[in-house]
Structure formats: structure tokens, C-alpha cells
């Protein structure tokens, strides 16, 4: 009998919280919707929304958030680090930069929920490498 490689049923975690945008002359509240899905177990997406502006979406490695709630981490466009009872997320792009400050308990709970859903080191259970490679090859070698 051939081995079964059943992909687990996909699930997601969505948490809405308020952060403070500290990169402006005056701090401004920002609604942040944190999202983690087993379809992409290596990434976290955050949708930031402020009154009167279009939402901004950032996607980055979940390890940055997992490590960043405990110690400074990040190289490049995203840096995450704890400070007091807060977690700071620094974002930088060609269009500008932003420093967001979140409450540490909310961020730690989100990280704990992610790790309960997909423990560190088990991410590959949720990725069908063969299908992903086939899709890449199909796009790369399309007529």
C-alpha cells in the first residue's frame, strides 16, 4: 500500500488590535489585523488601517515576530523588538518607513496561537512542495 501524504486541513488565525504609529510627529492609533494561515506557514501578514487612508499590507517571516517579542531581530525592511510592555515593529520600504508600537501581551498571545497551530519545525507539513514546484515550473516555462 502506498504511503499517504495527506495535507492537513488549512486553518488561519486573525486578530485585530490597535497599535500606535510613532513615526509621525504625533502618535496616531492604527488598526492592525494580524493574520497567519497554514497555507503559508512561514509568513505573517499585517493589514494596517488609519482613518482616511487606504489599508497597507505587510507580509514578513513569522520567525521575526516569534523572536521579536523576546529579543531584537530583523535584517532589512522589518525589525521587531521588545521594549518594556510593548513590541516595536519598524517597517521600511522605498515609499517610506513606519514605527509601530503594539502591546506585548497581544503580540505574545498571537505568537503563542501561531505556535499552537503550527509548532516551530513542523511548517513543511502544510506545504506541498511538489505542487509548488510544478506551479513555478508551469509559470516559468509557459509559452
Are 59 and 43 contacting, i.e. CB atoms less than 8 angstroms apart? yes
C-alpha cell recorded at residue 60:
514578513
Q: Which pLDDT value is given to residue 137?
A: 83
pLDDT of residue 136: 81
Residues of the chain with pLDDT under 50: 1-4
How much is the pTM? 0.83
Structural domains for the chain: 12-140 (2.30.31.20)
Chain CA centroid to CA 44, Å: 2
- Residue 121 has phi, psi (to 5 degrees) of 90, -10
What pLDDT does 3 receive? 47
Kindly state the cell numbers that stand for 117: 497551530
What's the Cα-to-Cα distance from 79 to each of 42, 64, 68, 86, 142, rounded to whole Å? 16, 7, 8, 14, 37
Tell me the C-alpha distance between 109 and 117, whole Å: 12
Q: How high is the pLDDT of residue 42? A: 95
Given this model, what pLDDT does residue 1 score? 42
pLDDT score of 26? 85
CA quadruple 92, 14, 129, 63: dihedral sign: positive
pLDDT for the residue numbered 102: 97
Amino acid at each position: 500500500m502506498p504511503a499517504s501524504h495527506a495535507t492537513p486541513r488549512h486553518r488561519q488565525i486573525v486578530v485585530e488590535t490597535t497599535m500606535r504609529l510613532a513615526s509621525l510627529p504625533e502618535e496616531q492609533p492604527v488598526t492592525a489585523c494580524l493574520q497567519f494561515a497554514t497555507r503559508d506557514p512561514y509568513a505573517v501578514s499585517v493589514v494596517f488601517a488609519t482613518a482616511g487612508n487606504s489599508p497597507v499590507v505587510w507580509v514578513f517571516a513569522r520567525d521575526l515576530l516569534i523572536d521579536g517579542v523576546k529579543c531584537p531581530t530583523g535584517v532589512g525592511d522589518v525589525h521587531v523588538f521588545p521594549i518594556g510592555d510593548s513590541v516595536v515593529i519598524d517597517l521600511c520600504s522605498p515609499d517610506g518607513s513606519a514605527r509601530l508600537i503594539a502591546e506585548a501581551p497581544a503580540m505574545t498571545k498571537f505568537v503563542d496561537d501561531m505556535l499552537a497551530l503550527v509548532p516551530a519545525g513542523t511548517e513543511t507539513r502544510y506545504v506541498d512542495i511538489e505542487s509548488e514546484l510544478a506551479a513555478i515550473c508551469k509559470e516559468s516555462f509557459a509559452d
